[in-house]
Structure 1
Amino acid sequence: MIRLERISKSFAVGDGLTRALPEIYLTIKQGEIFGIIGSSGAGKSTLMRLINLLERPTGGDVLFDGERITHFQGGQLRAEAEDIKSIKLIDNIATHGFIAICLFVSGCGHGRRPIPR
């Protein structure tokens, strides 16, 4: 299970800070298929990088299977990364294609239709 508790991200812009993501709470249970959608610049990629800790949050915690991993470093983080490696970001796919992928992965309609491109 992946859980985000009060995850936020801000970036330095000029003399101030720009808040890219507010305090986000999110739970993704084992086996769930979860999609993050939004317009360009909404923070989708930033959120994905925070979940897999390719980028560090400004605030809050990332928990994986109940363990806080936000402050893991080096080998400890690499060990957890092996378990988190199934997190993927699919760029530039039409909505119907994304839905088809979710249905395929969940076993619904398996083998009946090709995934639209």
Structure 2
Amino acid sequence: MSNNKEPDPNLDLDLQISNLLHTEAKKKQQQYELLGFGNFFSARNKSGPYRANKRFLNNVILSTESHNRSLVESDRKEDSRHRPKQKSSPKSPPKIRNNSKTITKNPSKKYSR
């Protein structure tokens, strides 16, 4: 180690920043004493709140809904691809309409004369 004492540039920068903050705080304190708390708001806030960008927000909502729909659809397709196929249950006998009456065909029943 050497005994050379060189000025640290970080200390100078820290000192300069602290001086700037101190002077800014003094100015704000003087403004507060003269005009009160309302002086700290910007001129834009005095005219009212910011308006929402409705077109942007609507587009965000629409794109989010579209994305969610596509995710649900892809999940549904993925599930149906991996789900084992169920055996079909026996179907009910077909119905035939004849003269505004419904007749049920039952192949297991045999008619005798």
TM-score by length of 2: 0.16
Q: Flag the structure with larger Rg.
A: 2
Larger RCO (alpha carbons 8 Å, 6+ apart)? 1
Q: Which has the higher helix share?
A: 2
Q: Which has the higher strand share?
A: 1
TM-score by length of 1: 0.16
